[in-house]
Amino acid sequence: MTVKIITRKGRKFALLPVEEYQRWHDESVPPFPSVDSDGTSNAIDFARASIARRLITDRRAAGLSQQQLAKMAHVRQETISRIESGKQTATVRVIDKLDKAFRRANSQAGKRKAS
């Protein structure tokens, strides 16, 4: 990704490709937490939003519903819903299960394309 920094009226702005902006400004994903005057935000809220956005992106890219992913990862669909909404922090164990499910899904998709 190419980002260009410009300054206008003493303020710096980052110019980035529209696709990248839209990927991170998608209204169907949880927003990042607001920042305070120092430019910092709550780390837990930021982590929840980051994980939620990545999970949604990966799940959509794999063409899976929450229910399908839940079945493949051996977790409850409600768990995925709460993580994707940013309401629940994903545990390392759940992230590992989701990662393995995505790897299996991508492997199966690759085998279907090769056939």
Domain total for the chain? 1
Whole-angstrom CA distances from 60 to 20, 40, 51, 55 are 16, 30, 14, 8
Going by pLDDT thresholds of 50, 70 and 90, the confidence category of residue 75 is very high
Residue 51: domain span: 42-114
pLDDT computed for residue 113 by the predictor = 61
pLDDT computed for residue 71 by the predictor = 97
What 3-state DSSP class applies to 25? Answer: coil
Q: Is the pLDDT of residue 50 over 90?
A: yes
DSSP H or E run through 105:
helix 92-114
Q: Is the pTM of this model over 0.85?
A: no
Q: Hey, which of 24-33, 35-44, 68-77 has the most confident mean pLDDT?
A: 68-77
Going by pLDDT thresholds of 50, 70 and 90, the confidence category of residue 101 is very high
In a domain, 30, yes or no: no
Q: Are 103 and 58 in contact (CB under 8 A)?
A: no
In a domain, 28, yes or no: no
CATH number of the domain encompassing residue 107: 1.10.260.40
pLDDT computed for residue 19 by the predictor = 77
